[in-house]
Amino acid sequence: MKLLSISDVAKERDCIESYDEARDSSVVDEDKLLDSLETDLRSGGVIVDWHVCDIFPERLIDLVVVLRCSNSTLYERLEKRGYKKSKISENVEAEIMQVILEEAQDSYDEHIVIELNSDSKKESTANVKRLVSWLKKWIDDHPQGVSNELQVTDSESDANDDDDDEK
């Protein structure tokens, strides 16, 4: 699998149109970003890591995973990452209002959107196992769309995360 951290990809592929000082965040040119990702997404075997999902056409997406956590856990994680208080508050408020979950549910078929809690290492490990199981089934169901490089072994289902600082 190839992981695309969209924040990094947007910078690498010159898809940043401006910087929002108040939010302490880059503003992405979504059309340019999507154009630059089309080939990657069509090739399959890609995990897209970003807080926005509704820009991606459903034809390019097989599964949308929305990771959730308690507000106190989210606050602590973002604080550890050095986020400004205003950005932490905005993220916690979005979590309370289920903004990302609702965007995903409004943008994609209900069968491809799943919500997973990610408060603890135990939950994260269970999430990894669930996703590896889903991926194995997807590979079995799509043999024509799988390259020889895209294989999942049982050892990959063992999450080996030494800290509890998940996204």
Say if residue 163's pLDDT is above 80: no
Would you mind telling me the total number of residues written for the chain in this entry?
167
pLDDT at 44: 80
| Contact between residue 86 and residue 136 where contact means Cβ atoms under 8 Å apart | no
Residue extents of the structural domains in the chain: 1-50
Quick one: pLDDT at residue 158? 44
The whole-angstrom separation of Cα 94 and Cα 1 is 29
What is the tens place of the pLDDT at every residue in 81-123?
A: 999 999 999 999 999 999 999 999 999 999 999 999 999 999 9
Q: For 67-85, b where at least 16 C-beta lie within 10 A, e where not — what string? A: bbbeeebbbebbeeeebee
Distance CA 167, CA 164 (A): 9
- Convert the pLDDT of each residue in 117-158 to its tens digit: 999 999 999 999 999 999 899 888 877 655 544 445 444 444
Average pLDDT of span 63-74: 96
